[in-house]
Amino acid sequence: MHTSIVAKKTLLIVWVALLVLLLLTWGLAQFDLHHFNVAAALTIALIKMLLVILFFMHVRYKPRLTWIFVAAGFIWLLIMIDLTLSDYLSRGSVPGYPDKTWQHGAWPAPGKQPPESTTRP
């Protein structure tokens, strides 16, 4: 099995880059960029993640089969995030109750009747 030795200089440069990105993340939190705050923070987090995976986990120097398994892990992570967000973002969209009166134990809302049943007699 072929093992690659990463130069200490390379690891030091990556570590310094991670520290700079950490400070950049902190500095970004001090400014209000409105909708761009999330996009900028996620971009910095993605860069940090790639640096850790490629250099500290030595994926950069591994065969392409390792890259496929790493990619498969991230695809699975994206599937889990998608399922979680689809559940979270669809909450409150109960037909007949657009004002979310079903929340906080108020079902049905005081003064309102539940929607008519669509079942046939």
Give the model confidence (pLDDT) of 68-88 as tens digits: 999 999 999 999 999 998 888
Per the structure block, which two tokens stand in for 117?
């049943």
Cα separation, 36 vs 43, whole angstroms:
10
Residue 95: φ, ψ to 5°: -60, 135
What pLDDT does 54 receive?
A: 92
**DSSP type of residue 115:** P
The mean per-residue pLDDT over the stretch 23-49 comes to 92
**Averaged confidence pLDDT in the chain:** 82
Domain ranges of the chain: 7-61, 63-92
**Where residue 9 falls among pLDDT bands split at 50, 70, 90?**
very high
What pLDDT does 21 receive?
A: 97
What pLDDT does 86 receive?
A: 86
What pLDDT does 114 receive?
A: 57
Cα separation, 8 vs 5, whole angstroms:
9
**Where residue 91 falls among pLDDT bands split at 50, 70, 90?**
confident
**Where residue 12 falls among pLDDT bands split at 50, 70, 90?**
very high
Sign of the CA dihedral running 93, 81, 14, 60: negative
